[in-house]
Amino acid sequence: MARNLRLLGFLALIYASLSISGAAVIRPINEAHQSAALEQFVPINGSFGSLEETYEALKTFQILGVEKGAEISHATCPVVVEKLGSSLSTSKDLFHALRVNSILGCQIDSRTFEDVASKLQALIKDANSLLDFHYAVGGLLYIKDQGINVILSDADGTFHSIKALSQSDGRWRYDSNSAESSTYAAGIALETIAGVVSLADRKLDQSKIGIVKNDIVKLFDSIKSYDDGTLYFDEKHVDASEYKGPLSTSASVVRGVTAFATVASGRLNIPSDKMLGLAKFFLSIGIPGSTKDLFNQIESLSCLKNNRVSIPLILSLPSTVLSLTSKDQLKVEVTTVFGSAAPPLTVSLVQAFHSDSKDTPVLENQELQFDSENTIHYLDIIPLKLDVGKYTLIFEISLHDPENVNTYAMGGRTSLMSFVTGSIKIDKAEIGILESGAGGSETLQKLDLSRGSTLSLSANHLQKLRLSFQLITPLGHNFKPHQVFLKLRHETNVEHIFVMESSARQFKITLDFLGFVERFYYLSGKYKIELTVGDAAMENSFLRALGHIELDLPEPPEKAAHPPPQPVDPYLRFGPKQEISHIFRAPEKRPPKELSLAFLALTLLPFVGFLIGLMRLGVNLKGFPSSTVPAAFSMLFHAGIAAVLSLYVLFWLKLDLFTTLKALGFLGVLLVFVGHRTLSYHASTTAKLKSS
């Protein structure tokens, strides 16, 4: 419990950052998305995996202006060529290979494209599902973009086959056997129909185009919304295996609708605020955490950036926090979803509401000035007499050129949140000890809460502690922060936190120690006094030590509660342990150097005697065997003796006893064997000489 109470003391100081960051801020695509793309799309050995994943990475990089094609083409182009030249490739394989090639521009001859086009034409005739049509028609479109003359032979029949899968609510089925229709499939169908229209050898019947336009209107009737005007599409009733999620579903619809609007004559009857709501949905996501979601976000916004329905204009605040101390200006940006400049327009602050008076606006009809150099609309807030606090700002955009009204989506009025911060004046701060009873005397001291103090007080259980102060805003109004705490901490680290309430235009607290003796566990002694004041709009929030108070409390009764055990310091529990110092065995005492040399001389005497004996006896080679086998055994025998003598020398110079014994065991076995054969031969030869 004491640990939790300690944490409360810091809530006021971090509340401002939590409150401000908690507000939803919609900003256009910026450099952070480029960095996220480079972090999430990481090639392995020059490849992103499948061709589908490769296209998503390359398309995202292309839209964001990141050059990556040259690095990927060396490993990817051979795969593309292989897929396009293989007779086993499906329509899906060909579709993804052609998509990747549209970005990388691999070296593929026109004959290959023509062969693939013929194969896709044949696959369209046999297609019986929406995805089959989508892959085949999409592949033909990419081939057409390469300059190859591609004409869909039976465009009317293909259109009819795809349209047969549509439902009355504007959604589509994946095939004729599907029980449920899908919003995600509707986006695929619209994109495929747009491809059919582009590949047709003649204009399709406009009545069919009108039917599809009507389906789009019905589809947008099922769009869902959040309270802030953000709009998105989601599935209604589909199997778990087919569910794509709001982001993928909305991206599919946007791709399909914008593609169809490009090839269809006339305008689609889609309200501009719905296109703006979809753009806000994609931007409100921030930076997605997966490559698939990042691709869907970036490509969808790219489709919305230039479309024939309506181009969304995003009104945003570069900074949602305005400081009265720094004399900040209210700045507003109006751009496209990718931050491009908007056409000439005027931004007006229609109304501004303070959080304490949401029904009565504090500002109305303020036109913002335009800084053409920085393309920023701004408004000086100091002359407007805005006080500190949280504000709801309602803006309105008006285009200068009336012809742009049908081209751009502005969404009417836009509501944004902003904080106005300032330095709060702390006035009339007093602290003192009061006597109990109505007629008790008061001894209050003035406090300067702008800095720490070394206040020293003393009291017993029959007295009271009183603290009071006022908080004044820069405009002279009373200020009520979110957090005001008074903390008393005993020298045993037992803490007691009290919330100070506002009354009669000031903050005041009176602690009657007689009523707190049990809560204080009858602990007499020194208590440190700390005051915490904090708010999101208060620039000078503080946690300040005021001094200490010496409390004299009565002795605890037998059954009184004991203070809670204090938590173990994590640095003591999990910190580095004392270093272990290893104690090694002391080296054995060695004999004097002279004694060691004398012992060495004694051990060498037998060897010296052996050498002298050999020299005295001489070397007799007359009895050396002349036959091949006995001669070989005799040479091995003498070599073994030489090896034993060499081992003897190495033992004294380098080897230890155990290594020497291992080698000696091997040499001993060899010497016994070859020595026995050698000596047996000599004995036999000697016996023959004696008998003869």
Residue 283 — very low, low, confident or very high, per pLDDT cuts 50/70/90?
very high
How high is the pLDDT of residue 81? 94
- Is residue 473 within 8 A of residue 324, CB to CB? The reply is no
Mean pLDDT over the full length of the chain: 88
Residue 229 — very low, low, confident or very high, per pLDDT cuts 50/70/90?
confident
What's the alpha-carbon Rg for the chain, to the nearest Å?
46
How high is the pLDDT of residue 259? 96
pLDDT tens by residue, 456-495: 999 999 999 999 999 999 999 999 999 999 999 999 889 9
SS3 label, residue 481: coil
State yes or no: pLDDT of 3 exceeds 50. Answer: no
The string of DSSP codes covering 553-588 is -PPPPTTPPPPPPPPPPHHHHHSPPPPPPP-PPPPP
CB-CB neighbours of 283 under 10 Å: 20
Residue 62 — very low, low, confident or very high, per pLDDT cuts 50/70/90?
very high
- Is residue 314 within 8 A of residue 279, CB to CB? The reply is yes
Instruction: Provide the percentage of residues in the chain whose pLDDT is more than 90.
Output: 57
For residue 629, which amino acid is it? Answer: V
Q: Look up the pTM and report it.
A: 0.73
SS3 label, residue 359: coil
Residue 24 — very low, low, confident or very high, per pLDDT cuts 50/70/90?
low
- Is residue 77 within 8 A of residue 106, CB to CB? The reply is yes
Q: What is the mean pLDDT of residues 330-348?
A: 94
Residue 498 — very low, low, confident or very high, per pLDDT cuts 50/70/90?
very high
How high is the pLDDT of residue 452? 74
State yes or no: pLDDT of 114 exceeds 50. Answer: yes
Residue 47 — very low, low, confident or very high, per pLDDT cuts 50/70/90?
confident
State yes or no: pLDDT of 209 exceeds 80. Answer: yes
pLDDT tens by residue, 72-107: 888 899 999 999 999 999 999 999 999 999 999 999
Question: According to the 3-state scheme, what is the secondary structure of 141-200?
Answer: HHHHHCCCCCCECCHHHHHHHHHCCECCCCCECCECCCCCCEHHHHHHHHHHHHHHHHHE
Question: Hey, what domains does the chain have and what are their CATH numbers?
Answer: 2-9+425-561 (2.60.40.10), 27-150 (no CATH), 153-311 (1.50.10.20), 326-421 (2.60.40), 608-691 (no CATH)
Q: What token pair was written down for 20?
A: 């401000």
The string of DSSP codes covering 479-503 is ---SEEEEEEEETTS-EEEEEPEEE
Longest Cα separation, the chain: 150
Residue 49 — very low, low, confident or very high, per pLDDT cuts 50/70/90?
confident
Q: How far apart are CA 139 and CA 116, in angstroms?
A: 9
State yes or no: pLDDT of 240 exceeds 70. Answer: no
How high is the pLDDT of residue 4? 43
pLDDT tens by residue, 619-636: 666 667 777 888 888 888
Residue 310 — very low, low, confident or very high, per pLDDT cuts 50/70/90?
very high
Tokens 């085949």 map to which residue?
A: 136
